[in-house]
Amino acid sequence: MGKVLFWSCFASVFFSMLSATVLANIAILPVVPDLVLLVVLYVSFMNNAVIGSTTGFISGLLFDFLSAAPVGLNSFTKTVIGYATGKLSGMYNLDKILVPFLMGAGATLVKMLTITVLSLLFGGKVVVFGLADSTFWLEVLFTGCCAPIVFALLALFPSLFIIRSNR
């Protein structure tokens, strides 16, 4: 379990740096896909809810320190998503394109709803997108489109991201 958590957090830091340095500077992208969320989704789905929520918490906390969000915001949202996705572990067949796209898009919707609820606690410090905002739907689309790519990259290293007893 420790090895999976270490490599999942390492991948989360790598993808958050990739998002912040490369994807954020591409002028044609109005939004940046949440690649850290995709790492949490993959690890949660391939293992269980305990691994998913732990990976979500640690990855979210690391992402909180790298972003301008209030500490705990990303940690909470990724913990919730990691737990829920871990509960779905083994229930569906993970194909190459459709299921990862749907998981990425659905998790972005859940993230938005969770952040909307948390904005009531944090006040004006949290940026909330509404369902009518085109920026939100572009993030849903871009995160969904990146999901098959990230899942395929992580699937290249099953010994690092999957606990053998779950296979």
Query: CA-CA distance, 108 to 7, in Å (whole number)?
Result: 23
- Domains in the chain (CATH in brackets) are 2-160 (1.10.1760)
Q: What is the pTM of this model?
A: 0.90
Contacts of 78 (CB under 8 A, 6+ apart): 36, 37, 40, 56, 57, 59, 60, 63
Q: What digits encode the pLDDT tens for the residues 75-120?
A: 999 999 999 999 988 777 778 899 999 999 999 999 999 988 888 8
- CA distance linking residue 21 with residue 26, whole number of Å: 9
3-state secondary structure of 79: helix
